[in-house]
Amino acid sequence: MEILNLPHFNIKQFAENEHDFLIQVETASPPSFCPHCGCVANLYKHDNRDHLCMDLPIHGKRVGLLVKRQRYKCRECNQTFWERLEHTIDEKRNCTKRLLSYVEKQSLKRTFVSISEDVGLNEKTIRNIFRDYINRLEETLRFETPNWLGIDEIHIIKPRCVLTNIEERTLLDVLPNRNKETVVSYLSRLPNRGRIQYVTMDMWRPYKDAVKAVLPKATIIVDKFHVVRMANQALESIRKQLREGLSPKERRGLMHDRFILLKRHKELTEMDKITLDLWTKNHPSLGIAYDLKESFFDIWDTDSRQKAYLRYHDWKAKIPKELQSAFEPLTKAMANWEEEIFNYFDHRITNAYTESLNSLIRVTNRLGRGYSFEALRAKILFTEGLQKERKPKYQKRLDDYELRDYNYPMFEKMFPVGVVRERERGELLGVDISTLIEKLEKGEL
C-alpha cells in the first residue's frame, strides 16, 4: 500500500518486469447501500471482473492496476450494480484521476508520443485528454481586453494571427490562421471590446476588414516597422539586380556587404562608410537607392502628420524612373493604406514587441518538432507562471485605522489586528512575452 498510496485499494498481488509494474488490487471497503433503491446492508456478491487501468509511473516504470471489480445484487429490489470507482478511477480514460491530472500538465510540456511511452496510455487518449483540458482552460482563463490592441503575424508551422496588448507587452492569443472570419470571431467574443481605442496591424487586408466590422470606432494604425522595412526590401531588390552583372568575386563581396546597405547611416562604422562609398561610387544607382532608403526612414521622425505627408510626396517625386519598379511595392502600399499609415503621426503607437515575436518564431520552430499547432498554442498561453497580472491592492492593516471610533472588541473579531485581507485576484493581462521567450530559450517549457 505504501508504494501505491491509494487508500481506497488493497494490494493483492504484485508483478514486475523490465518496463512495467502490474499490481492487482481490490477495493478496501464494499458499498453499504443499493444505488437503485437505497436499501442499506442487504447486498450480496453476484459476480466480478478484472478491470485494467493505468496509474502514475513508479521508479521510471509504467504502472497498471488490475482492479478486481465486484458486482453486487440487492435482495430488496433484485437489481445488480458494479461497485463504483469514481473516487479514484476516471473510467472514460481508463486511468487513475491522479494520472489524468499528470497527463494534463505534461501535455503542455512534452509531445503526446513521449507521454504515451511514459505512462502506457494510447497516444490518441493523450490527445483527447489534452483537448478536454484545453477546452476547460479556455472557459476559465480570461485576459483583460486592452485599450491598444496589436494584430500581427507569426509563423508557427504556417502563418498565424497573433493578438497582443501593446501597452502591457503581452500576448493575448494565437489564432489558427489569418482569415477575416477567424479574426472577426475572436474580436466578437472579446468582453468590453468597446474599450479598444487603437489597433495596430501590418498591411493585411483581412485584418483591416475584421476590425472595421467589429470595432468601427477604433483607430487603425499600420505599424511603422512593416512600412519602413519595405524601403529595405526595395534596396535589396536593386542590389540583387546589380549582382547579375558582376564578376563572381564582386558578387561575393556585395553579398557580404548587404548588411552595411541595410544599416542606418548613423550606425555605420568608419570601415562601413569606406565600404559603402566604394560600392556607391562604382554603382551610382545603388548609392541613390541607399539615400532614398535613408530619407524614407527620416520621414518617421517628423513631428506632425501634415509635415510627414508633404515630406513623403517630396520623397516619392525624387525616385528616378529606372528605380521606380523597385520602389513600386512601397509606393503602392502607401497609396492603398495612406490613412492608416499616416495615423501613426497622430497616435505614435507601434508594435514594439516585433523583434520579440521574431525571437518567439525562432524558438518555437526549433522546439516545435513533434508538436501540433494546438499544442504549441497551449504551451504558450496556458503554462503557469507566464501570465502577467495587474497587482491587486491590499486593504490596510487594522492597526492603520483610527480605532477609537469603533467598538473595538467586536471589530477585532471581524478583522484581527495585523491581518491583511486581499481583494479578489487582479486582472490577467496576457502572457508576458519577454518571460515566455526567456523560458523557451532556457528549455523550461
Dist CA 242 CA 255 (whole Å): 11
Strand order in the sheet with 148-156: 219-222, 198-201, 148-156, 158-165, 170-175, 428-432, 387-389
CA–CA distance, 387 with 440 (Å, rounded to integer): 14
Its sign, for the CA torsion 96, 102, 107, 112, is: negative
373: cell is 499547432
35 closest CA partner among 74, 9, 86: 74
Look at residue 166 and tell me if it is in a domain. no
Same domain membership, residue 319 and residue 372 = no
Helix axes 123-140, 97-106, angle to 10 degrees: 80
Same domain for 301 and 373: no
CA terminus-to-terminus distance, the chain? 34
Q: What is the pLDDT of residue 418?
A: 46
> Residues with Cβ < 8 Å from 75, sequence gap 6 or more?
39, 42, 43, 44
Is the separation of the CB atoms in 388 and 429 below 8 Å? yes
pLDDT at 405: 45
pLDDT at 288: 93
> Residue 323: CB partners within 8 Å, gap ≥ 6?
234, 238, 285, 288, 289, 292
Rounded Cα distance, 152 and 160, in Å: 8
Are residues 302 and 231 both part of a single domain? Answer: yes
- Round to whole Å and give the CA distance between 46 and 74: 9
* Helix (H) or strand (E) segment spanning residue 423: none
The partner residues of 63 in beta bridges, in order of sequence, read 21, 55
Q: Which pLDDT value is given to residue 272?
A: 83
The answer to whether residue 266 sits within a structural domain is yes
* Same-domain pairing of 228 and 323: yes
Q: How many domains does the chain have?
A: 4
The pTM assigned to this predicted structure is 0.76
Reduce the DSSP state of residue 164 to 3 states and report it. strand
Q: What pLDDT is stored for residue 445 in this prediction?
A: 66
* Per-residue pLDDT at 391: 73
**The pLDDT of residue 37:** 84
For residue 134, being part of any structural domain is answered with yes
Q: Where does a domain end: 65, 91, 117?
A: 91
The string of DSSP letters for 378-416 reads: HHHHHSTT-EEEPPPPBPPPGGGS-GGGS-HHHHHHHS-
> Do residue 125 and residue 232 come from a single domain?
no
pLDDT of residue 50: 85
Q: Return per-residue pLDDT of the chain as tens, 445 residues.
A: 467 888 888 888 888 898 999 988 888 777 777 887 878 777 877 778 888 899 999 988 999 999 888 888 888 888 888 787 777 888 788 899 999 999 999 988 888 889 999 999 999 999 999 999 999 988 888 899 999 999 988 887 788 999 999 988 899 999 999 999 999 999 999 999 999 999 999 999 999 999 999 999 999 999 998 999 999 999 989 888 877 776 776 666 555 667 788 888 888 888 888 888 888 887 888 899 999 999 999 999 999 999 999 999 999 999 999 999 999 999 999 999 999 999 999 998 887 665 566 666 666 655 555 567 888 888 888 887 888 888 765 544 444 444 444 444 544 444 444 444 444 556 888 888 888 877 777 766 6
Full domain range(s) for residue 86: 1-91
For residues 267 and 297, is the Cβ–Cβ distance under 8 A?
no
Distances (CA, A) of 206 to 57, 170, 183, 294, 370: 48, 23, 8, 31, 30
Q: Are residues 384 and 294 in the same domain?
A: no
pLDDT at res. 267: 86
Q: Is residue 352 part of a domain?
A: no
Q: Which of 117, 140, 163 is the last residue in one of the domains?
A: 140
Domain boundary among 289, 316, 345: 345
- The grid cell for 294 is 535613408
Question: 425 φ, ψ to 5°?
Answer: -55, 140
Length of the chain: 445
Q: Are residues 308 and 374 in the same domain?
A: no
